[in-house]
Each structure stands twice: as structure tokens, then as C-alpha cells.
Structure 1
Amino acid sequence: MTAGETGRGLLELTRPVNVVAASVLTFIGAFVAGGVTEEPVAVAAAVGATALAVGAGNAINDYFDREIDRINRPERAIPRGAVSPRGALAFSIVLFAGAVVLALTLPPLAIAIATVNLLALIAYTEFFKGLPGLGNALVAYLVGSTFLFGAAAVEEIGPAVVLFVLAAVATLTREIIKDVEDIEGDREEGLNTLPIAIGERRALVVAAVLLVVAVLASPVPFLRGYFGVPYLLVVAPADAVMLFAAYESFDDPTASQSRLKYGMFLAALAFIVGRGALEVPGL
């Protein structure tokens, strides 16, 4: 295996798209809290810590999941031999160390959130992934907490609480759909995920109901005065994409969970537009 292939494999371990997405959510949390221009160094440290921690968490997840991935994801870096299991573990430790160094420069509440999240990332695959619903809920918390972390970095957490709830519910839906997609390998590995415990269709119904709740709650930031009308104009198509993804999940879970991710990105854009509009008189 060449150095270039190994380097590419290490990058794949981090899930670059997920790293960027989580970093953007942290930035949005700080932006919604109104602290980007006031505390740029803290925001940069929070975004960097998020990127390193998510990359580390994904790498260690692949380390623990390497046998399952030989069935579900044979093209991933460890199963195809681009990165050794020991190399993936060492890489994740380096990334975790970098995340800790950056997080320690932030206010106490941000450090507390970072500490909980780092422990959760380490414990997820080994202790929680195979527990019906609990592993999904932990991932949902981690995604939603990126908003809180960004806001805590600038010491103004209030407006981000609503965003945390909405993101967590939408992520929980996607995680359940992903478990339906991975049910064959999970069952062979002896995991007891929600679709295995209650059945695929019932799990998809739970996911759809959760997503409907999140969509119904999406106007709350507008109603509470956090965002203006432009937020509603952007979040409406995001809601439509996510609702269609829930409907699609019953026939094609793979396409559904991918579409749901795009809907979540669009919803994140709505948060940016909503907050930005507050800075423009008349919007």
C-alpha cells in the first residue's frame, strides 16, 4: 500500500463531509448567538475542536466497526487494507488530542460540553451502538450539541437550545433509517439495533413520526423571535425534502438517509439566513 493510498484512507476515516458539516453547525451556533464578530478566536477554536473531534470519532468508530464493515462497507479504508486497525486507532488518538488542546482554550461551559462529547464519541461504538435506540439517541445528541458548543464558546447559549432540539430529532430519524439500511451486517454481528428489536417497518414508522414532530417544531425559532420571515422561506423547502425522505425510507432506506442529510443541510442554511436577516433593517 503506497503512502498516497494510506493518506487517502486516513482522510476517508474522518468522513470529511461529516467533519465539514459538524464544523459548520458549530459556527452556526456561534453565529446565532451573535458572537462571531465579537469572539472570532473562540469561534475558530470551537470550529477546529469540532472538526478534530468528529474526525477522531469517525476514525475510532471504523476501528471498532472493522468486522461489521467487512460485510456492510467493504470499500472503507480498514476493510480494503488502506489503513491498518492499529494505524486507525493511533490516528484517532492524535485527532482527539488536538481537539482537547483547542477545547481547553474556551469558556467553562464549552469545555464541559466538549468533555461530555469526547467521552461519548469514544464510548459510542463499544458500549452504545448495539443498544436499541440508545446509540441512535447518542448520535442525535452529538450532532445537535454542535449548536450548543458553538454558542457556549461565545457564552450565549440561549438561542441555540431550539436549534439543538431540532437538529437532534432530525438526526435521530436519520440514524434509525441508517440502521434499517445496515440491518444485515448488524444482525450477523449480533447487534440489537432498533430495527432488529422491533422490526424494520415499525422502526421506520418511529423515524417518520419523529421527523414529522421536528418539521412541526421548525417554526418555533420564528415564533420565539430568534429569526425573521426569511428563515421560514428557507426552512419550508428543507421540511419538504425531509418529509419526502421519510416517505421514501419505506422503499429505499439508502436513498432516504442520503436525501435526509441534504434536507438537514438546507435547514442549517435556514438558520444562517434567519439570523442574518435580523441584522438587516426591515427583514
Structure 2
Amino acid sequence: MSSVVETGRGLVELTRPSNSVAAGVLTFLGAFVAGGVAESPTATAAAVAATVLATGAGMAINDYFDREIDAVNRPERAIPRGAVSARGALAWSAVLFVAAVVAAVVLPALAIGIAVVNLLALVAYTEWFKGLPGVGNLVVAYLTGSAFLFGGAAVDAPLAPGVLFVLAALSTLSREIIKDVEDVAGDREEGLRTLPIAAGERTALHVATIALVVAVAASPIPFVLGTFGPAYLVLVAPAVLGMLYAAYEAYDDATVGQTHLKYAQFLAVVAFLAGRLLSPGTGPM
């Protein structure tokens, strides 16, 4: 019985529930900012479900391809510690992908198109782009930010959350680069050519910091455009300060820096939600 429980726990861990749910929240927020949640509740729910399922599938298949790297960098993960076999992780990923496709079939053609592009980008990332300097980081940044576009497209307003797409993509780009600095040992052993390996860890951290500074500088735009009200500024201020401090921390400890950056990103999402909820009179971006 304990082995069944451990396997079940491992399957859940493979999906990175916090990341998958967070991606679903971004999709919901994309539809919400576009003003389409009340008008298209079924499409919104389908888009959120498809995002959560596809993100979980992507996380699982990434762990499948990274199992040898994780044996060095993160031996506590489900595959390296033996909770789930590599084949089991691959099968679980396929099940989640199929479920995501089923959820997405009711969506408008443009939303389905975005989903197909994202699926191809995810496969390309795991197979070819992950080990290329900066390229893999850009793909993950796009995939994260595109959750906003997907939510908007689900309610026939794909460009409405465009600024949020840019902000999310830039902050994610920064965190992904910092994570590569954290993973240098295992990536080098696997022969990957990530940005910190190709250009040096300090140079990579400089690039991550620049991306984050641009995102922070652009963060007031939703308020300036009238998309979010004052509540957004109140909550986004500590979020951006936390992001900048996390970038500073990363120069001494990449693990601490990327972890704190993740927390700051979650706070930024809360700022997006609060800014829209408490500003009912504002329009889409």
C-alpha cells in the first residue's frame, strides 16, 4: 500500500502542482482582463483546465528527459528517488496531454492555435532548445507569458492582456536564467550549453537582472493604461522590490535568489487579480 501511495505522490509531484495551478490562474486572469469571464464562463473554464493539464504534462515530460541531470541536481525528485519510473512518467505526461486536448476542443480556433504552437514549442524545448544558450530560457518565458494570451483568446480577445504577457515573460526569463546558474553542475555533466555555461555565471546573472529591471520598469503600465486601479500599485510595489532583491541575492546564492523570485512573481499575480477585481470600471488593455 505504501508503494502505491508513494507512486501517487510522485505522479502529483511530477506535475509541479503549484506551477500548474499558477499557470491556470494566469490563463483565468487573461480572460478576466479581457472582460470575457462572465460572458464566456465555459470557454474560460475549459482554457484554465487545458492550461493546468498541459502545464502538468509539460513538467512531467521535462522530468522524463531530465532524469539523469536531476540525479545530480535534484535527487529528491520523483524519478531519481524511484517513486515513479521513467516510463511511468512518460505515460503520465501523455495522459495529461490528451486530457488537455479534450478540454481545449470547445475553444475558439485562435485559442486552439495558440495551444498547438505552445505544445510544439514545449516538445522542441525538451528535445532541442533546452541546452542552447538562452534559447531554452526564451521558450519557457514565452510559454509562461502566453498563458495570458491563451486566456484572452479563449474569450475572443487575445491582445487584451498583451502587457501582462510581456511582464510575465520577462520575469520568467530572469528566473529561468538564474535556475540555470543553480543547475550548472548537472547541466555541464550532461553536456548542455546553457547561458551560464557558455557565457559564464556572472554574465548570465547580469542578463537575468537586465530582463528583470525592464519588467519592473514596465510594471506601472497596466495602471497608466487604466486596466488596473490603485490596488494594483499597492500590491505590485512589494512584488517588484522582492524581484529586484531576489536578483541581488542570486549573485551569492542562485537557489535562494530563484526561490524568492518565484514568491515575488506569485505576489505580482495577486496584484494583477486585486487590481482588476477592485477596479470594476476599468477596461481591457
With the shorter chain as reference, the TM-score category is over 0.9
TM-score normalised over the length of structure 2: 0.96
- 1:254 alignment partner in structure 2: 255
- Deviations along 1:199-239, one digit per CA (max 9) or x if unpaired, are 00010011111101100000111112212222111111111
Which range is displaced more, 223-232 or 14-23? 223-232
Contact 1:159 1:226 in 2 (8 A): no
Q: Does 1:206 align with 2:201?
A: no
Q: What is the identity, as a one-letter code, of the residue corresponding to 2:199?
A: I
Contact 1:136 1:175 in 2 (8 A): yes
- Deviations along 1:231-283, one digit per CA (max 9) or x if unpaired, are 111111111000100111101110110111111111111111221222169xx
- 3-state SS, counterpart of residue 193 of structure 2: coil
2:47 and 2:62 map into 1 onto residues whose CA distance is 22
- 1:277 alignment partner in structure 2: 278
- 3-state SS, counterpart of residue 251 of structure 1: coil
**1:12-161 equivalences in 2 (<5 Å):** 12-161=13-162
- 1:191 alignment partner in structure 2: 192
- 1:221 alignment partner in structure 2: 222
1:57 and 1:158 map into 2 onto residues whose CA distance is 25
2:247 and 2:219 map into 1 onto residues whose CA distance is 16
Following superposition, the deviation at residue 166 of structure 1 comes to 0.4
1:52 and 1:230 map into 2 onto residues whose CA distance is 31
Q: Does 1:235 align with 2:267?
A: no
1:157 and 1:91 map into 2 onto residues whose CA distance is 30
Which range is displaced more, 99-108 or 223-232? 223-232
2:166 and 2:121 map into 1 onto residues whose CA distance is 18
2:280 and 2:70 map into 1 onto residues whose CA distance is 47
Q: Segments of 4+ in structure 1 off by > 4 A?
A: none
Following superposition, the deviation at residue 125 of structure 1 comes to 1.7
Percent identity (aligned) = 68
1:245 and 1:120 map into 2 onto residues whose CA distance is 28
Any stretches of 5+ residues in structure 1 without a counterpart? none
Any stretches of 5+ residues in structure 2 without a counterpart? none
1:140 and 1:186 map into 2 onto residues whose CA distance is 19
Following superposition, the deviation at residue 158 of structure 1 comes to 2.7
Q: What is the identity, as a one-letter code, of the residue corresponding to 1:244?
A: Y
The CA RMSD measured in Å over matched residues stands at 1.2
- Deviations along 1:158-216, one digit per CA (max 9) or x if unpaired, are 32000000000000000000000000000010000000010000100111111011000
TM-score normalised over the length of structure 1: 0.97
Q: What is the identity, as a one-letter code, of the residue corresponding to 1:14?
A: T
1:269 and 1:82 map into 2 onto residues whose CA distance is 34
2:94 and 2:231 map into 1 onto residues whose CA distance is 42
- 2:3 alignment partner in structure 1: 2
2:181 and 2:211 map into 1 onto residues whose CA distance is 16
Q: What is the identity, as a one-letter code, of the residue corresponding to 1:9?
A: G
2:76 and 2:239 map into 1 onto residues whose CA distance is 31
- 1:167 alignment partner in structure 2: 168
* Number of residue-to-residue matches in the alignment: 281
- 1:263 alignment partner in structure 2: 264
Following superposition, the deviation at residue 122 of structure 1 comes to 2.1
Following superposition, the deviation at residue 118 of structure 1 comes to 1.3
Q: What is the identity, as a one-letter code, of the residue corresponding to 2:156?
A: E
Following superposition, the deviation at residue 5 of structure 1 comes to 0.9
Q: What is the identity, as a one-letter code, of the residue corresponding to 1:223?
A: V
2:190 and 2:202 map into 1 onto residues whose CA distance is 21
Following superposition, the deviation at residue 88 of structure 1 comes to 0.7
